[in-house]
């Protein structure tokens, strides 16, 4: 067992070195963007190592955005882009959502972003941006009690985050907020819950229009806190109900 562990560590270090060497070739221009990498067999011979080690190195390069691979084709050289890095980050974020504590951390991150965004919107939003927020609110109202409410809910919050004019924040917000909504438990009374959320959205929008920073940030804080805690209650009630059913 000890020998297997040592072999695994050695293989991992070798994969790290191979990945670093090929990435350096890309950075230096020796391997141009779009170039096809040598075959796995050729790489094994070049670095005098095994195929699993080479595959691990290539996997690391893909995760860092230096390789792209289509099914059945050899990997091509790419260079990391902001969009690509954020997409990979988003996948990791979605993977965390199954854990309750991680989900709570992500909710806190969302709250931090959106409270800051609404504060910025009150102070800096143009008339065009305020109009976009108001239109998103109108669509949210029209979707109360329908299957489209969640999408219009996301769109309303997204309009506020857009005022920041920060593509990194917006991309991350889109990724983890959509994931959070996908995993929400269906509500027992969607009309009542939707109407409550809409009413809080309406107040947030009104405070933005009024230029009231304190009221807008307080309302956003209350809205996100209430929404999250109600979802926790729903999840707990479903768990208790399932246990009672099994016991009976």
Please give the share of the chain, as a percent, with pLDDT higher than 70.
74
Instruction: Please give the average per-residue pLDDT across 72-99, as a whole number.
Output: 70
Does the structure show a pLDDT above 70 at 74?
Answer: yes
**Whether 53 contacts 15, CB under 8 Å:** yes
* Options 3.90.950.10, 3.40.50.300, 1.20.120.530, 1.10.443.10; CATH of 84-247: 1.20.120.530
Half-sphere exposure of 145 (CA within 13 A, CB side): 4
Q: What is the pLDDT of residues 8-67, one digit of tens each?
A: 555 678 999 999 999 999 989 888 988 999 999 999 999 999 999 999 999 889 888 898
pLDDT score recorded for residue 20: 93
What integer pLDDT is reported at residue 4 of this predicted model? 47
Provide the whole-model pTM: 0.65
Average pLDDT of span 154-165: 95
Lowest mean pLDDT among 12-26, 83-97, 192-206: 83-97
CA distance from start to end of the chain: 46
Sequence length of the chain is: 248
pLDDT at 164 over 60: yes
Tokens for 163, please give them: 């005022």
11-77: CATH number:
1.10.10.10
User: With the CA atoms of 3, 9, 14 and 20 taken in that order, what torsion angle do they form, in degrees rounded to the nearest 10?
Assistant: 180
Burial of residue 157 (number of CB atoms within 10 Å: 0-12, 13-18, 19+): buried
Helix intervals (H) in the chain: 2-28, 40-47, 51-63, 82-96, 100-124, 127-142, 149-162, 167-182, 190-210, 213-247
pLDDT higher for 62 or 217? 217
Q: 54 or 235, which is more confident? A: 54
Report the greatest alpha carbon distance in the chain.
Answer: 69
Give the number of other Cβ atoms within 10 Å of residue 61's Cβ: 24
Handedness of CA 127, 131, 132, 134 (dihedral sign): positive
- Which residue did the predictor score with more confidence, 152 or 64? 152
**Would you state the pLDDT for residue 12?**
72
What is the domain partition of the chain in residue ranges?
Answer: 11-77, 84-247
* pLDDT of amino acid 99: 60
Rounded to whole angstroms, the Cα distance separating 38 from 194 reads 56
**Token pair in block for residue 218:** 């307080």
The 8-class DSSP code of residue 75 comes to -
Question: Which is nearest to 163 in space by CA: 199, 205, 221, 201?
Answer: 205
Q: At which residue do the structure tokens 């996997």 appear?
A: 59
Output Rg (C-alpha) for the chain, integer angstroms: 24
């Amino acid at each position: 067992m000890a020998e297997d562990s040592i072999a695994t560590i050695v293989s991992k270090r070798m994969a790290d070195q191979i990945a670093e060497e090929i990435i350096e070739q890309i950075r230096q221009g020796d391997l141009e963007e779009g170039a096809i990498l040598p075959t796995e067999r050729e790489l094994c011979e070049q670095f005098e190592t095994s195929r699993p080690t080479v595959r691990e190195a290539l996997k690391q390069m893909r995760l860092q955005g230096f390789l792209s691979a289509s099914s059945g084709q050899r990997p091509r050289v790419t260079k990391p882009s902001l969009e690509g890095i954020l997409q990979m980050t988003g996948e990791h974020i979605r993977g965390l959502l199954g854990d309750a504590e991680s989900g709570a951390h992500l909710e806190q991150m969302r709250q931090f972003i959106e409270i800051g965004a609404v504060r910025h919107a009150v102070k800096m939003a143009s008339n065009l941006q305020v109009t976009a927020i108001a239109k998103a609110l109108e669509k949210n109202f029209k979707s109360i009690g329908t299957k489209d409410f969640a999408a219009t809910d996301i769109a309303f919050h997204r309009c506020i985050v857009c005022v920041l004019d920060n593509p990194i924040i917006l991309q991350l917000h889109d990724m983890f907020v959509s994931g959070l909504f996908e995993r929400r438990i269906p509500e027992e009374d969607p009309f009542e819950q939707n109407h409550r959320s809409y009413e809080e959205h309406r107040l947030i929008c009104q405070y933005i229009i009024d230029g009231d920073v304190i009221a807008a940030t307080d309302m956003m804080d209350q809205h996100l806190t209430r929404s999250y805690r109600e979802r926790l209650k729903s999840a707990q009630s479903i768990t208790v109900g399932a246990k009672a059913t099994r016991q009976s």
